[in-house]
Structure 1
Amino acid sequence: MTQNPGSAAHPHKPAWAGRNYSLLTAATVVTGLGANGSLIAAAFAVLESGGDGGAVGLVAAARTLPLVVFLLIGGALADRLPRHRVMVAANALNCLSQGAFALLVLTGEPRLWQMMLLTALGGTGQAFFGPAAEGMLMSSVDGEQAARAFAFFRLATQGAALGGATLGGVLVAAVGPGWVLAIDAAGFAVAGALRSFLDVGHIPPRTPGEGMLADLHEGWREFIGRPWLWGIVVQFSIANAVVGAADSVYGPLVARDRLGGAGPWGLALASFGAGTVAGALLMTRWKPRRLLLAGTLCVFPLALPSAALAVPVPVGVLYVVMFVAGTTVEVFSVSWMTALHQEIPEDKLSRVSAYDWFGSVSLLPLATALAGPAESAVGRSAALWGCAALVVLVTAPVLLLQDVRTLTRRTKQVTDSTPASADTERPVGGLG
């Protein structure tokens, strides 16, 4: 892959940290600071308005349901239209929805349906943004430097997540959730402005297709033909659902009842963020040869936070557990991004990313909506132990996929005419 205009080197930057990469990283840091605080703010806005765990779950479900509905359309559009325009439009929608949510909280007593509607608009923006952003990032770095570029990108954005969670918990406790939501809205405005300067001139013009359904079908063939890809997505459809329910519903409730409120829970999320920073920093130096094997083994500790909340452990122990889980899951994240960049054609990146996102979040609305009833039926502790067990049970079978065990990092760039297996131990995609 030749260097593209979006990756022109600056004398004081690494060769892979070009203009597009720098803009994408800066914009994601800005939104990361606000978004991680706003998750805490939204949960406590519901609780302060008189809602219970079920209401918190419904608002969280309202955020993720539009992802399931619109992700595939968003992926197809991002492979048809200039990706930066899709991203800017999505940021504008997020800015407006979070601004309205903040105004509602600051000026009165928000009703549950209003909070659900506004978070649903934010989720709609994310559905169109996510596939476009992932495709844009992957097209902005060169193949041989991709792993390091992704690791530094994750390092910067997870650092923002750490700061956002820490500040979010403190600010919610100090000034209330409304102001934190307002800060998040302003962050989306700034990020949209930065992303409007992205250069897409290096991306080859798209060949006119046969329509949206044909584009989606082509992306589906690319997705389903690679067992390692759909196997891990199925795994995370369940793992993300139960972890999301634990973090968005049970976590704030345990914090309120046993840990001291929003401040300690914000620090717990910040500890997870610190772990992801440590994991990203590790991945700037470590390049595991078997990408997916190393990544999948590092998913098992994701069960630990739910188990810790189920006990519940003292808050200091919870911080350590969250740090370990964050570190290991970040190893998976960088390995996963590197594998996608290595194996998926550029013109299909956003559609494959959409199927990835779709599978990964498809059960999240159901899990968060059922979190409250599950607590009522079996108790909070039993529900959290169930979350931990499910993470382990759905991760173990992924190791049975041969491609997960053998997919190997390429040590040199291959051309379109070079077989995919030229520098891997065996061909990947379409093989079980």
Structure 2
Amino acid sequence: MKVEALGALGDRRFAWYFTARTVSTAGSAMVPVALAFAVLHVDESAGALAQVLGVRTLALVVFLLVGGVVADRFSRIVVLQVSHVLTCLTQAIAAALIISGHATLTQLTVIEGVNGAVSAFTMPAMMGVVPLVVDRSRLQQANALLSFSRSGLSIIGPAVAGLLVVGVGPGWAL
């Protein structure tokens, strides 16, 4: 990546957005590994994992059109803020249940169903935010930075999650 691509970080609003999106992407990249081990910790069956992931995916698909409409009719930034807070809360609840040893398959299934539905609002809202937070002349730089961050974290995130699962357990990795 060329150093000039970093120029977009000179825009305060984009710098905040980039930081938030990078943190969010890092967490999202870690969740699949941590969640898989968490489910297998609660119920040692592949069927349980399929159930949790299937419900999450189904909720995402069912609510995606609604999420798109909401992202088009309301402030995309507000939709992202609300959806990220909800995701953080549900993941914190799942983590607390797993760490405390009180997690059940039903609880994890419901929590991940909620996360799938929330993701259906996050994804469409994210599509149009960059032009709102960076000057048009730096749009290409901003998109390059976000792409670089996303690509790197898609590799690093699962590896870090694996290390955390082994080191401290799946609840802490969530």
In the superposition, the TM-score normalised over structure 1's length comes to: 0.37
Instruction: Tell me the SS of whatever aligns to 1:61.
Output: helix
**2:3 aligns to what?**
none
Which of 107, 113, 120 is the matching residue for 1:114? 107
1:39-188 superposed matches below 5 A: 39-141=32-134, 145-181=138-174
Kept in 2, the 8 Å contact 1:66–1:123? The answer is: yes
CA deviation after TM superposition for structure 1 residue 31, in Å: 1.5
CA offset digits 1:153-204 (Å, max 9, x no partner): 11123333333222110010111101111xxxxxxxxxxxxxxxxxxxxxxx
Report the AA paired with residue 94 of structure 1: T
Look up the equivalent residue of 1:128 and give its one-letter code: F
Relative contact order (C-alpha < 8 Å, sep 6+): which is higher? 2
Return the offset for 1:137. 1.8
Q: Write the deviation string for residues 248-296 of structure 1: whole angstroms up to 9, x where unpaired.
A: xxxxxxxxxxxxxxxxxxxxxxxxxxxxxxxxxxxxxxxxxxxxxxxxx
Q: CA-atom RMSD, angstroms?
A: 2.4
Tell me which of 35, 52, 55 is aligned to 2:28.
Answer: 35
Q: For each residue in 1:376-426, what CA deviation from the matched residue of structure 2 results, as whole angstroms up to 9, or x when unmatched?
A: xxxxxxxxxxxxxxxxxxxxxxxxxxxxxxxxxxxxxxxxxxxxxxxxxxx
Asked if 2 retains the 8 angstrom alpha-carbon contact of 1:17 and 1:149, the reply is no
Question: Cα–Cα, structure 1 residues 80 and 50, in superposed 2: closer, same or farther, change >3 Å?
Answer: closer
Q: How far 1:87 sits from its partner (Å)?
A: 1.0
Q: Within 5 Å, give how 1:25-424 maps onto structure 2.
A: 25-141=18-134, 145-181=138-174
Distance 1:102 1:60 in 2: 16
Deviation per CA, 1:26-47: give whole Å up to 9, x if none. Answer: 1111112222222111101111
Q: Which amino acid aligns with 2:107?
A: Q
Asked if the contact 1:71/1:128 (under 8 Å) is kept, the reply is: yes
Tell me how far apart the structure 2 counterparts of residues 96 and 148 of structure 1 sit (CA, whole Å).
Answer: 32
Tell me how far 1:109 sits from its aligned partner.
4.6
Q: Distance in 2 between matches of 1:166 and 1:16?
A: 27
Instruction: Please tell me the residue identity of whatever aligns with 1:14.
Output: G
Q: Which runs of 5+ in 2 are unaligned?
A: 1-5
Identity %: 36
Q: Which of 1 and 2 has greater Rg?
A: 1
1:93 maps to amino acid: L
Letter paired with 2:31: S
Where is the helix percentage greater, Structure 1 or Structure 2? 2
1 CA distance for matches of 2:162 and 2:16? 28
Q: Count residues in correspondence.
A: 171
Counterpart in the other structure of 1:416: none
TM-score (norm 2): 0.86
Question: Within 1, Cα distance between the matches of 2:143 and 2:99?
Answer: 38
Secondary structure of 2:172's match? helix
Structure 1 residue matching 2:73: 3-state secondary structure: coil
Q: Which amino acid aligns with 2:19?
A: A
Would you say the 8 A contact 1:97–1:122 is kept in 2? yes
Contact kept? 2:8, 2:134, Cα under 8 Å:
no
Partners of 2:130 and 2:139 within 8 A in 1: no
**Secondary structure of the corresponding residue to residue 163 of structure 1:** helix
Summarize deviations over 1:362-385 as a string: whole Å, max 9, x none. xxxxxxxxxxxxxxxxxxxxxxxx
C-alpha contact 1:30 1:160 (8 A) present in aligned 2: no
The SS at the match of 1:110 is: coil
Cα distance in structure 1, aligned partners of 2:67 and 2:78:
12
Q: Distance in 1 between matches of 2:33 and 2:167?
A: 13
